[in-house]
Amino acid sequence: MIKDLTVSGYLEELSSKKPTPGGGGAAALGGAQGVALGEMVINLTLGKKKYADVEEEMQLLLIKLEDIKKEFLRLADEDAKVFAPLAAAYGLPSGTEEEKKHKAEVLETHLLAASLVPKAVMEQSLEAIAVMDILARKGSRLAVSDVGVGVTFLRSALLGAKMNVSINTKFMKQREIADKLDQEADMLAETGMRRADEIYANVEAALK
């Protein structure tokens, strides 16, 4: 599991020619880092008299971010799990019509599964970006730059995951399902990028 690796161990695995971990897992892990920075901002806000009026809200947001962080880590591992059978499916024999039909059916199943995981990463990224918006406005001013860094990680997770939706839907034969997934991913990306860019701009303005 990715959470059990050291940072150097993970980077060594990522840089190798092994198929996993890959871009999908890296996107999810980037999202987890963005969330962790949000948690740090909250922890620097809690217990301070200056922010007593948002104490309860911050405590609830901390719980929410912890849940999202755990989900990002789960999805990072899940991405590797769904890719393995997809990679194996590409190697299935296709010499006869029956074999071709079987291979196409198996590929379709695994392409769909491999599309749903990064889509879930996109959804989690959007949830986390919404929290970062609150932290940019109500969190400790001493850590506002960390909100900017965190939202940058989440924006990258969002767009990275979108690439992994697209690379799988591209080869799906059930175009109605594939097109629906692409449309949903486009909408998540557009909404998330807009919000992330607004937050980043607000943070940048606060630092000047």
* 68-81: pLDDT as tens digits: 999 999 999 999 99
Measure the CA–CA gap between 168 and 163, rounded to whole angstroms: 9
pLDDT for 19 equals: 83
**Residue 1 pLDDT > 90, yes or no?**
no
Indicate the SS3 state at residue 112.
helix
pLDDT-based confidence at residue 54 (cuts at 50, 70, 90): very high
pLDDT for 2 equals: 84
- pTM, two decimal places: 0.94
**Residue 164 pLDDT > 90, yes or no?**
yes
**Residue 25 pLDDT > 90, yes or no?**
yes
Percent share of the chain, pLDDT over 90 = 90
Cβ contact 68:98 at 8 Å? no
Tell me how far the alpha carbon of residue 162 is from its chain's centroid. 9
pLDDT for 3 equals: 82
pLDDT for 106 equals: 95
Mean pLDDT to the nearest integer, 6-31: 94
Exposed (0-12), middle (13-18) or buried (19+): which is 52, by Cβ within 10 Å?
exposed
Tokens, residue 42: 């909250």
